[in-house]
Structure 1
Amino acid sequence: MRAIDFDQASDPASAIRLVQQPNTKFIGGGTNLLDLMKGDVEQPLRLVDINHIGLDQITELPGGGLRIGALARNSDTANHALVRSRYPLLTQALLSGASPQLRNMATIGGNLLQRTRCPYFMDTAFAMCNKRAPGSGCGAREGYNRMHAILGASSACIAVNPSDMNVALVALDAVIQVSGPKGERSIPIAGFHRLPGTMPQVDTVLQPAELITAVDLPPPAFTRHTHYLKVRERNSYAFALVSAAAALDMIGATVRQARIALGGVAHKPWRVPAAEALLAGQALDEARCRQAARVLLDGAQAFRDNGFKIQLAERAVVRALLEAGESA
């Protein structure tokens, strides 16, 4: 690893000012960035430590929502009393990710910005990766692509978003609060991550030097009937082949409203409101859940090694919905 400069910010304003220096990155928990630096995928000349700028609190919002500071640790967030009681889907997703040691270090803001775990991106021995070297090609399209996208891919990239937390936040209609040189703004999470298109090197809609300050959750609507299902190669410490977040508001056996999101299938968490609408006002049964799953997966296209993901994702959605319906 090459020598780098290191600055410690004292507040958000100083962090934003410092990160505007050339080739500079924020560092919080560092669980993703340091991996990328060790592999020479990321090559910053300067790091700005943001661990002491006061964005680690979890507080109630007027109206009943919740604000999670961007520097709150994943483990602290998952086990916070208000998160566990009001947003159990988020707790389930956070606890399914990584190891306890990593969850103790990783931050909510950093989790939002996780970069893909595609081996062609992570290993600089592979010359072809449009995310790492725009214009070089996509090695995964004709290479080993078992873990890769079945939805929203492009000719430039078929990588997937690796985060479990992001899938739950999309289902819960979270809003990302950011601050930057041009001021503050709010970004609904559905529009925060990008599909690859012709610019797969750009993962989110963040502008240069913008800092995530918090994640806002709306007043809780899904406190009883939720389930996060993660299907992976081994039981722990593995990224999802497919994951499904399901949240239901029910009266008896009837669904009043539903939220469904898929992970491990696209460059961003995948949600289709039309699939959720099929469940509203209906009794929850396997046939209707399967119908919703098929709408959610409409247009899915497989590559050489990941054709199994289409059926796996459909089954995961059905199981997650039925498990959510039975939970209380």
Structure 2
Amino acid sequence: MDDFFSDDIDAEARRGRGATRNLTGRFEPHTRHRTFDGWEVQGQDPLKTQVLDDHPRKIITKNQSPDVPFDRSINPYKGCEHGCVYCFARPTHTFLGLSAGLDFESRIFAKPEAATLLEKELRRPGYIPDVIAIGTNTDPYQPIEKERRIMRGILEVLDAFNHPVSIVTKGGLVMRDTDILGRMAARGLAKVAVSLTTLDAKLARRMEPRASAPNVRLRAIGALARAGVPTGFMMGPIIPALNDHEIEKVVDAGARAGATWTGYVTLRLPAEVSPLFRDWLDEHYPDRAHRIMAQVREMHGGKDYDAQWGKRMTGEGVYANLIARRYEAAMKRHGLRRRIAPLDCSRFAPPVRPGDQYALF
């Protein structure tokens, strides 16, 4: 990944963003980088978020990964303005001819027909219901959702069809939808996990610049729990020498907020994410960058990342085992579970539309 050149953007222009560079995507035939020709250069304009409409033919994505507990998901958006520097989904933007760096968090693709497409797919003859996971790639409650309300539309369809849904988010905007989620949860159709990376507001602002602050995420856990929604939290990613010392505090805070289950993942650095994260460390934590990466590699067989199923989420080795033991002990102290009862797929029933013929039996 060191072969990529950067399309550099001034620090002031990218203020409030996660990535420090805009690496050329791996599928592009040419790389771009800035040079100084001796002329005075004016400061760059602040990097603004662009939202473009995306018009896919289908909205439900299938997967066969053996180490994730779902086989289908929905992504209302491509790219994520939260700008989490460690986001493992960043390389998906390279398939669009864009960068996994600043492009990923500033060029967002919204899917305005998502709810319509979902209803069409759920009505297909022979559709077999199972839990739809949302938020496993990009966050459905990123800032643009406040205006676009695409996630809200998706939930309205799932509610009408009695279709189960599992959500992961670090967006406090999820509290807006407690009315729908509460109704669905009462029928065993919904659960939510809030992503808690750190309780340190300064670290969160650097690492997840446009995501909700830690105290807002804790408030979201409480709001969901009070609405009757089975609510948990994910500490992810756990990063050696950066937020690993917070494991016990994060678990304690999540439990006190009202969560009943939890889990964690360790840092994942696939493809372009590795150089982006290393650049970010050099800029913000140069004094411990070497130590952090050394421990990351120790968990992945000497590499920045090991994509093997069963290892990519938690790593392996002495340090990974220590994290697992600490997390397990913290969970037990608060009576937290790793899983909750499965959601109910038996209620699924497409609502009758005007003009539909009722079944005889």
TM over 0.5: no
Q: Normalised by the size of structure 1, how large is the TM-score? A: 0.29
Q: Normalised by the size of structure 2, how large is the TM-score? A: 0.27
